[in-house]
Amino acid sequence: EPAPGPAPGRMCVMPAARTWALIPSWEWHLAGVDDKRAATVLRAVRVAARLEEAARMEPAAARERLEVLPGVGPWTSAETVQRSHGAADAVTVGDLHLPGIVGFALGGDRYADDAEMLRLLEPYAGQRHRAARLVLLSGRVPERRAPRMAPRGIERL
């Protein structure tokens, strides 16, 4: 939705919960959103007022509130409070690539898992998300071992 008031250019704001609820299923598909994620958004829309309260909570409490919603786990809650609260210590766990990148940059282990990543980030307690972001921005990543997979649309099935 266009931003209210004198906003520059095409500045937009997030649509209201009601607007999200009215999006038809084919629009989700055209936007590249699978059924599982669309269902999670629609569940969130039903409890939007309760989720909005999380903005005034401490990051840990906000994460607990978010994770009550089916389809929202540690990855989503961490990514959310990093942005909504500026939570400098909210490490993204459950990410496919982050543990290997952090493990490679800080410990030389491209096969690091979440537990190893958290161990390597311990010296940065209180700033672990920021430390992981700096690692990502450093460009020190393991070499790719395979070509990227091309995305496939369901229209060809």
Q: Two tokens at 57?
A: 């909570």
22-80 confidence digits (pLDDT tens): 999 999 999 999 999 999 999 999 999 999 999 999 999 999 999 999 999 999 999 99
**Mean pLDDT computed over 146-153:** 77
Q: Based on the number of CB atoms within 10 Å of its own CB, is 34 exposed (0-12), middle (13-18) or buried (19 or more)?
A: exposed
